[in-house]
Amino acid sequence: MLLQLQQWCQNLVWNLTMKIEHTSSTIGMLDMWALVFVRVHQTNQLKTSQGQEPLYAREKVFVRTRKELKKLKGHDQKQE
């Protein structure tokens, strides 16, 4: 199940990358989907170790925006 979820997430990221390749939000979208993938993977590992069912792709996953990540890392916010 975990392998299927990983493949699904990788395919989703690839499809989104192709669709938004020429926009300025490409990096932000990739960051967001990378975080979704990592969060699902970490949650699945935790649930599996506790003997619970792993997450399915349709379940919601908490994602931080790129701006929130910059604040967490202590970077200055740039005015757009």
CB-based contact 61:40 (threshold 8 Å): yes
Q: Which residues contact 24 (CB under 8 A, 6 or more apart)?
A: none
In tens, the pLDDT along 11-60 reads 777 666 655 554 555 556 666 666 666 666 666 666 667 777 666 544 45
> What pLDDT does residue 12 have?
73
The verdict on pTM exceeding 0.75 is no
CB-based contact 6:42 (threshold 8 Å): no
> What pLDDT does residue 51 have?
74
In tens, the pLDDT along 2-16 reads 777 777 777 777 666
**Rounded CA separation 49/65 (Å):** 28
> What pLDDT does residue 66 have?
64
